[in-house]
Homo-oligomer: A and B are copies of this chain.
């Protein structure tokens, strides 16, 4: 149940249509998922968000596409975003994540959450060896 009312016929707005067309082209798919349909309530926000997602996630870069999705899923879990956990887990599977890799991703996320809490509870002093300014 959303907090904004998406336009009934979003592609009647040429700016929205241009974004949706680009999403379809970049992803080579007709499926436009809800985040884009709802963001259409504000074409500026839609354009800015898609431009950034496309630039970071759909442009060849230092890291391979699956690694980028795994990181995205990990952050989305840590931030407790239901929609994003779903959309990026699906994207990771579409980019080849196996069940065994999924299980390993869960192991890393949950181990990190565990040791994060441990370090916070102990208020560990940071080892001076980790100071990048001295490297």
Question: Which residues on A are within 8 Å of B, measured CB to CB?
Answer: 1-6, 31, 33-35, 38-39, 41-42, 44-45, 49, 52-53, 56-57, 61-63, 67-68, 70-90, 98-133, 135
**A3-B123 in contact (CB<8A):** yes
Instruction: Note all chain B residues with C-beta closer than 8 A to A101.
Output: 62-63
**A45-B126 in contact (CB<8A):** no
Report the 4 A-B pairs with minimum CB-CB distance, sorted nearest first: A78-B78, A75-B112, A81-B116, A42-B103
Instruction: Note all chain B residues with C-beta closer than 8 A to A130.
Output: 1, 3, 33, 86-87, 89-90
**B34-A77 in contact (CB<8A):** no
Number of copies of this kind of chain in the complex: 6
**B112-A76 in contact (CB<8A):** yes
Instruction: Note all chain B residues with C-beta closer than 8 A to A35.
Output: 115, 118-119, 122, 124
Instruction: Note all chain B residues with C-beta closer than 8 A to A81.
Output: 80, 115-117, 119-120
